[in-house]
Structure 1
Amino acid sequence: MKKFGLLLAGGIAAFVLLSNLGPLVALGISIVILYYVFKQFLKTDSTLMKIGWGIIGFIALMATASNIPAILGIAAAYVLYLVYKKWNEKKSVVVEDNDPFTNFEKQWAELKKK
Structure 2
Amino acid sequence: MKKFFLYSAGFIAAIIALCLLVPVVGLLLSGALLAAGLHYYTGSKSTFGKVMSLVVAFVGLISAISNIPGFIGLVAIGIIYYIYKSRKNEKVEIFTSNKEEDPFTNFEREWAHLNK
Percent identical residues: 34
Tell me the distance in 2 between the aligned counterparts of 1:12 and 1:49: 46
Aligned counterpart, 2:17: 17
Deviation at 1:21, TM superposition (A): 0.8
1:83 is matched by which residue type in structure 2?
I
The answer to whether 1:71 aligns with 2:50 is no
CA-atom RMSD in angstroms: 1.7
DSSP 3-state at the match of 2:68 = coil
Measured after TM superposition, the shift of residue 86 of structure 1 is 2.3
Amino acid at match of 2:61: L
Instruction: Please tell me the residue identity of whatever aligns with 1:79.
Output: I
Which residue of structure 1 lines up, in the alignment, with residue 5 of structure 2?
5
- Structure 2 distance, partners of 1:76, 1:34, is 23
The DSSP-based 3-state class of the residue aligned with 1:13 is: helix
- Does structure 1 retain, via aligned residues, the 8 Å contact 2:36–2:57? no
* Total equivalences in the alignment: 90
Aligned partners of 1:63 and 1:78: how far apart in 2?
22
TM-score, normalised relative to structure 2: 0.69
The aligned counterpart of 1:94 is none
Q: TM-score, normalised by structure 1?
A: 0.70
**Structure 1 consecutive aligned stretches of length 4 or more whose deviation exceeds 4 Å:** none
Deviation at 1:70, TM superposition (A): 1.5
Bigger shift: residues 26-35 or 65-74: 65-74
Q: Highest Rg: 1 or 2?
A: 1
Return the alpha-carbon distance in structure 1 between the equivalents of residues 88 and 57 of structure 2: 44
- Structure with more relative contact order (C-alpha pairs < 8 Å, separation 6 or more): 1
Gaps of at least 5 residues in structure 2 are 91-116
